[in-house]
Structure 1
Amino acid sequence: MTWITRCPVCAVTYRVVPDQLKVAQGWLRCGQCQEVFDSKGLVVDWPLESHKTEPIAEPEVPADRLDIDDFLKQEDKSALQTPVSAFEEALSTFKPLPLMPTTTAAAPEVFGVPLGALIAHDQVPEDQAPALPPSAPPWWPKVLVLSLVLMLALQWMVAGRYLLVAAEPALAQPLQIFCRLMGCEMEPPPVRNGVVIESSSMTPQEGGLLLLWSVRNVTTQALEMPALELTWLDAQDKSLVRRVLRPTEQAAPSALAAGQIWSGQLQLLPAEGLQPLGYRLVSFYP
């Protein structure tokens, strides 16, 4: 028995055999338009038995004497769908569809210029991308560093205030004001060679020796009273005895004002058998 069917796309009719439809579960591919379609509802019996030897699924030109629309059933849309596995098995019996030639659509243009050219022009390589403006560095590290430097400078000024005055006597008064603000004491500084011995003498008196001397502050600021070193000498100017006289032993003030002269005296009793013939007196800061 031979059946006929028609492609629902290009309306070409074909003769098919039941075995082919059974294997493909009703799925066929049109030899004219290459459309794969389900032949259920599109197959009718072909009365001529002599056409069984005809090629399977070959396209045939429709004849005027055959009005296929009169006895073909329309496709039943409500029919149950073929299982997916059966559909894939049926498709495997057909040749793959040839790729249809496609035409490339013309690229859109913007004011007569291809859009692709504009996009390519706007795309800038990463190595040529404009650099972002550098962000402003935070301000607090600078403030912290300046604060630390200022604190170290103030601490150094407090600890080395006497050295500053010794190097630059004009800084004495500003440093005194600074010390009052910082809660420290600024005593008159010791300045080397700032207090000199103006005169001195040593004379015998009442079984001993009387030492007289005067010192003067030659600077323009108040200075600490220095200590005195007294050395007794023999006839060959060799040292016999050396003694240090601190300001408390001299009954002297702790400081001398700028240009001030102070005189002192001290009664000395040499040891028994010691007869000094000379002396040497110098001022110094211990």
Structure 2
Amino acid sequence: MKRAPARYALAAALVAVPLLLALLGPLFAGPPGPRSVSFASGPDHWLGTDFSGRDVWRQVLLGGRSVVLVALAATALAYLVALPAGLAAALTRRGWLEEALMRPLDVLSAVPSLLLVLLVAATLTPGPVALTALVGLAAVPDAARVVHAAAVEVASRPAVEALRMQGESWWRTALGYVARSMRRTLAADAGIRLTGALYLVATAAFLGVGVQPDAADWAVMVDRNRTGLFLQPWAVVIPAALIAALSTGANLLFDAALRKGTGK
């Protein structure tokens, strides 16, 4: 228990820095200054400039929203679809309905998420809304399977049958009892889903899907400057570290909460 505050502090710090930069960074970015390809730091560019001549710090301040907020929104979208689908499949007494809900998701889960994003993105106009929808829907099959597997065990308990006999509504049974009983499983899975969404959003941006090639985006910064890592390391290291910090911090935060729930 003595280590729990340290876990929370580390996790909160890792999550807070990229999240605050994504939310508030654009407010402090200021107007674009004159471009320079000197790479060196100075009074006007204290982290230097990238290979496009743009100020690295300003790009860091501007580049988080297109990665962090899209990944968070996509994770939320995935659960908005996966949670009711998985609960409905687990709580139904009609085997055909369970098969109808889960088998198509099993087929979709066999398709690599990145391939699905690339195929669909080829027919859509690139943009954050489309990318959010694609990444969120790509995460639905695996999230729904986790929800279904956890809900099946809870649905077999006598308490669920008692709620049905008392005439409780489906929503009260599903969300009020079943979903609450599996919240630790959902919390653990949420960290994995967010990490996957960050990976997919960053990879899509790295490949030019969903964002413009010259956009202020952390993943685009890594792609644009990776060949000159030793000439301008900050343009690669800082955005890559921020993406990794959010992913690691989110999982540590969920892990610390789960450990607290078990008293460890």
TM-score range with shorter-chain normalisation? Answer: under 0.3
Task: Say which structure is richer in strand.
Answer: 1
Scaled by the length of structure 2, the TM-score of the pair is: 0.21
Task: Say which structure is richer in helix.
Answer: 2
Scaled by the length of structure 1, the TM-score of the pair is: 0.20
Q: Please identify the structure whose Cα radius of gyration is greater.
A: 1
Q: Which fold has the larger relative contact order, with Cα–Cα distance below 8 Å and residues 6 or more apart in sequence?
A: 2
